[in-house]
A and B are shown apart, each in its own frame.
Chain A
């Protein structure tokens, strides 16, 4: 008996996968129903949803990039300390000490790519009119996901603590300081520069160690958890709204 078959018949394998290999119709149905990851999918779907020219695979790629970011991000957390003394130094070490180190690269380019694919995914959902009933609410969740993607990217931008990152975040947070009502430089402002929205964001009046810590916690804990939750909701709703959209 070939080794492969032997493995497949072993008690260990059978305890993990509770049905024969998915080579015939009943077992192809079963594999999707019994596997936690696969059961995000329906068992069957209309053929047009498979065509790359319909979905551009953009939602799926965005999700995959999110997973890549989670994995590389966790690995980066082993090397990175969010303090003014160490942040930049740890970046240098990642670049100069780790051989074949492309961790930072994969994380950064993956993030840029995710922003782009999320925007393009939105474009395709718009162009196919897939936000129309019954999928209105899933579009709303999608918009929140896009906003979260941008925020994740923005908070991560500060962490290398070089000139590029600090001043980019300064430019961004100054805009918040000019918000009407809640920004100290905005029209009809009723707050000071110690109590406005920018202060909430930065924990200080300018980008410094408080902001670094805040952005770190947001970037590594709060926003990813929120995004993961919304993605779960997004996928759940795709199923509940009747699967991939198509002409009636």
Chain B
């Protein structure tokens, strides 16, 4: 064990002891609750988990915080990468979605929480991991992961319950709470308690964690890496797959426009005012894909896993400032002319007039332009008669084309990622003469 690891361990030992003890207490509470509800088997399971966490707490208290074996850490880091993370998360979310009836059962949810807390606690004993998650500006993002997981779960839990009731011909649960109550005292007191709790949390958090302050601003000393504020890090991460004009400007505008347009594009009157998935399956999938996979996940990658030179680092991998990944990326027109037809790409005469240059560049990029035309025009025309036939009829022409445009534009991002990872394709249309790469 190197000295700095030993030092780290002594420093985090009390904290880890408290963490594991808290996890243990949570399981004791869950066990007691299950026991009272006469679910004896479940109660024993939580008691077992409580004992495991207690053991970890004692180990940490004795100055020997249990940690993941080096093999496991190396294995996790070896598997982690932008592509595996994206595809793995997508696969996981798909499994969770398809098996939602199983995964929303409270014991399954608690078991998943236990597993993640165990992994988190064991990982905290690693100095690299600890420095990642304990960085003051990163702490709220760790909190967000758990909060987001919890609310998504409890929303799905209610949706599954409501969908089951609807299938049985009964109304959603919310309907059974339709009776009117007075705002004073019922709501006012909830608000008061919420305010007290949030204030307490905020004050405790502020006492424990100092706001960061680095060296004074210096225009000629560029930090490596320079990161945007965390909520824009997803966009910065996506800059790897598309140019700044698209990711930095067009995509944010599209997100805003798409969100604003949502209530006017959605013509389904069902699912108004209660949790449901079955009444709005397609929309649920599109929204959750966009939010979780294209907004939240890139934020997490950009925050936790990008280091110097915007290189990708594992969760336990020291940030080596020399690490630099070199990729040779190829444009579609290079594939087409040089690999496909075996001849040089047509050239653009730099001295020609603007219109002529534009024409020449378009001729060179013809394959990419054809692909885009097929994607944005032919595909919606085709879908209109096949997969989305009923949707098209319900929505009318105007809504259909706006919704399709937004959907297809959104899907350009994952498609470009896939093309990059598989074919090393940089651009579908590349006209550097006009600063236009896509």
Residue B168 is within 8 A (CB to CB) of chain A in the complex: no
Q: Tell me, yes or no, whether B227 is within 8 Å of chain A by CB.
A: yes
Per-residue CB proximity of B242-283 to A under 8 Å, as 1/0?
A: 011101111000001001101110100111111110011000
Across the A-B interface, give the 10 residue pairs with the lowest CB-CB distance, nearest first. A175-B248, A105-B206, A178-B244, A48-B177, A136-B263, A166-B217, A245-B273, A187-B436, A179-B249, A112-B140
Indicate if the CB atoms of A46 and B223 lie closer than 8 Å: no
A-side contacts of B216, CB under 8 Å: 88, 161-163
Q: Is the CB of B228 within 8 A of A46?
A: no
Cα distance A122–B203 when bound, in Å? 26
Q: Once bound together, how far apart are the Cα atoms of A162 and B172, in whole Å? A: 52
Pair A163/B223 contact, Cβ less than 8 Å = yes
Asked if A127 and B159 make an inter-chain contact with CB atoms under 8 angstroms apart, the answer reads yes
The residues of A that contact B274 with a CB separation of less than 8 Å are 128-129, 246-247
Nearest Cβ in chain B — how far from A123, in angstroms? 7
A157: chain B residues within 8 A (beta carbon): 229
Chain B: residues with CB nearer than 8 A to chain A?
A: 137, 140, 143-144, 147-148, 151-152, 154-155, 158-159, 171-175, 177-188, 190-191, 194-195, 198-199, 202-203, 205-207, 209-219, 221-223, 226-232, 235-236, 243-245, 247-250, 256, 259-260, 262-264, 266, 269-276, 279-280, 284, 287, 291, 434-436
The listed residue (B137, B151, B177) touching A123 by CB distance below 8 A is B151
Assess whether A32 is in contact with B183, with CB atoms less than 8 Å apart.
yes
Q: What 0/1 readout, one digit per residue, does chain A (123-147) give for beta carbons within 8 Å of chain B?
A: 1101111111101100110010011
Q: Which residue of A lies closest to B216 (CB)?
A: A88
Asked if A51 is at the interface of the complex by the 8 Å CB criterion, the answer is yes
- B155–A46 CB distance below 8 A: no
Task: Determine which of B191, B213, B273 lies in contact with A128 in the assembled complex, contact meaning CB atoms within 8 Å.
Answer: B273
> For the complex, would chain B's binding face be called helix, strand, loop or mixed by DSSP majority?
helix
Q: Is the CB of B249 within 8 A of A183?
A: yes
* B226 contacts A178, C-beta separation under 8 Å: no
Identity of the chain B residue whose Cβ is nearest the Cβ of A162 in the assembled complex? B214
For window 150-188 of A, CB contacts with B under 8 Å fall at 150, 153-154, 157, 160-168, 170-172, 174-180, 183, 185-188
Nearest CB to that of A31 among chain B residues? B184
Contact of B182 with A175 in the complex, beta carbons under 8 Å: no
Bound-state Cα–Cα, A54 to B178, Å: 13
| Alpha-carbon distance between A187 and B269 when the two chains are bound, in angstroms | 41
Q: CB distance B190 to A185 under 8 Å?
A: no
Q: List 7 A-B contacts (CB under 8 A).
A: A50-B187, A102-B203, A109-B140, A120-B148, A132-B272, A189-B435, A207-B217
* Cα distance A64–B195 in the bound complex, in angstroms: 7
A177 to B243 Cα, complex, angstroms = 12
**Which size class do A's interface residues fall under?**
35 or more
Q: With A102-B203, A162-B215 as given contacts, are A175 and B244 in contact (CB-CB < 8 Å)? A: yes
Cα of A162 to Cα of B219 in the assembled complex, Å: 10
Q: Which A38-62 residues have C-beta < 8 A from chain B?
A: 38, 41-54, 56-57, 60-61
A28 CB–B CB distance under 8 Å: yes
- CA A88 – CA B270 in complex, angstroms? 54
Considering only residues 1-52 of chain A, those with a C-beta below 8 Å from chain B are: 22, 25, 28-29, 31-32, 38, 41-52
The answer to whether B273 and A25 have CB atoms under 8 Å apart is no
Which interface residue of B223, B248, B270 has the most chain A CB atoms within 10 A? B248
> How far apart sit A40 and B60, CA to CA, in the bound complex (Å)?
50
Query: A-side interface residues toward B, CB under 8 Å?
Result: 22, 25, 28-29, 31-32, 38, 41-54, 56-57, 60-61, 64-65, 68, 88, 91-92, 95, 102, 104-106, 108-110, 112-113, 115-116, 120, 122-124, 126-133, 135-136, 139-140, 143, 146-147, 150, 153-154, 157, 160-168, 170-172, 174-180, 183, 185-189, 206-208, 245-248
Q: Are B203 and A29 in contact (CB under 8 A)?
A: no
A163 lies within 8 A of B218 (CB): yes
Contacts of A248 in B (CB 8 A): 272-273
A167 to B188, CA, bound (A): 44
Q: A224 to nearest B CB, angstroms?
A: 18
Q: Is the CB of A174 within 8 A of B140?
A: no
**B229 in contact with A102 (CB, 8 Å):** no
CB distance from A131 to the nearest CB of B (A): 4
In the bound complex, residues from chain A placing their C-beta under 8 Å from that of B244 are 174-175, 177-178, 185-186
B183 touches A53 (CB 8 A): no
Give CA–CA (A86, B13) in the complex, Å. 40
Chain B residues positioned under 8 Å from A108 (CB to CB): 211
